[in-house]
Amino acid sequence: KQEVTQIPAALSVPEGENLVLNCSFTDSAIYNLQWFRQDPGKGLTSLLLIQSSQREQTSGRLNASLDKSSGRSTLYIAASQPGDSATYLCAASNDYKLSFGAGTTVTVRA
Amino acid sequence: EAGVVQSPRYKIIEKKQPVAFWCNPISGHNTLYWYRQNLGQGPELLIRYENEEAVDDSQLPKDRFSAERLKGVDSTLKIQPAELGDSAVYLCASSREGRPSTDTQYFGPGTRLTVL
């Protein structure tokens, strides 16, 4: 069974600081690794999807890396803004099944 | 393009009562998922549909939960009878049914269920 862990559970940073969110997974036989954002009371929004053959993906200020051999992925958010405050979840895909971590709740202070 | 629609957004019921959640996926998306998200945790898959066929219901508590997807579009998830431990957010997601390596799931806003 795939186990996904996200550390830390919560993070508070001043505006402008770069964010580093960590995700680890136990089963390296994944199809892809996905990062989602969840705002309070809302569903999940897909941010980045890294296929198993890729090392990283970038979208604007977001960059995600994947190291399958060590079972780790990292999401970097450059120059954080108050609007980046949310919970960020990673999910490892085995076939069509996504196994989620519990998330990292980020607060960006103005 | 409209997103995944779910209703109701909130539901409060007494234990032992029945409850139903409805989901309308993105048009053209053949795959539909129901997840349950407990407070402070990530979503956990309950059931996955390919068109109208439930292809993975291994995590669905079949003694009290049931689901259907008539005509391969809308879906309903039902709990009967509800228990206190069923309090959670129930999320619906859909995808186009592309290759597993590239399939992106799109989530609805969820239904927050409170069982008293």
What single DSSP character describes residue A82? G
**How close B108 comes to chain A (CA, Å)?**
5
- Whole-angstrom distance, CA of residue A63 vs CA of residue A70: 18
Task: Specify the DSSP element, H or E, that contains A107.
Answer: strand A104-109
Selecting from B4, B40, B105 the residue whose C-beta is nearest the C-beta of A98 gives B105
Q: Inter-chain contact B105–A46, Cβ cutoff 8 Å?
A: yes
Q: How many CB atoms lie within 10 A of CB A87?
A: 20
- Bond preceding residue A40 cis, omega within 30 of 0: no
Q: What is the pLDDT of residues A19-54, one digit of tens each?
A: 999 999 999 999 999 999 999 888 899 999 999 999
- Whole-angstrom distance, CA of residue A100 vs CA of residue B13: 28
Quick check: helix, strand or coil at residue A21? Answer: strand
Q: Inter-chain contact B100–A95, Cβ cutoff 8 Å?
A: yes
Q: What is the pLDDT of residues A92-105, one digit of tens each?
A: 998 778 999 999 99
Instruction: Return the closest-CA partner of residue B18 out of B49, B64, B74, B53.
Output: B64
Q: How many CB atoms lie within 10 A of CB B116?
A: 10
A96 interfacial to chain B (CB closer than 8 Å): yes
CA B59 to chain centre: 12
pLDDT at A77 over 80: yes
**Under 8 Å between Cβ of A102 and A7:** no
- B-chain residues near A96 (CB < 8 A): 31, 48, 56, 95, 100, 103
**How close A38 comes to chain B (CA, Å)?**
10
Residue of A96, A100, A105 for testing the chain B interface, max B β-carbons within 10 Å: A96
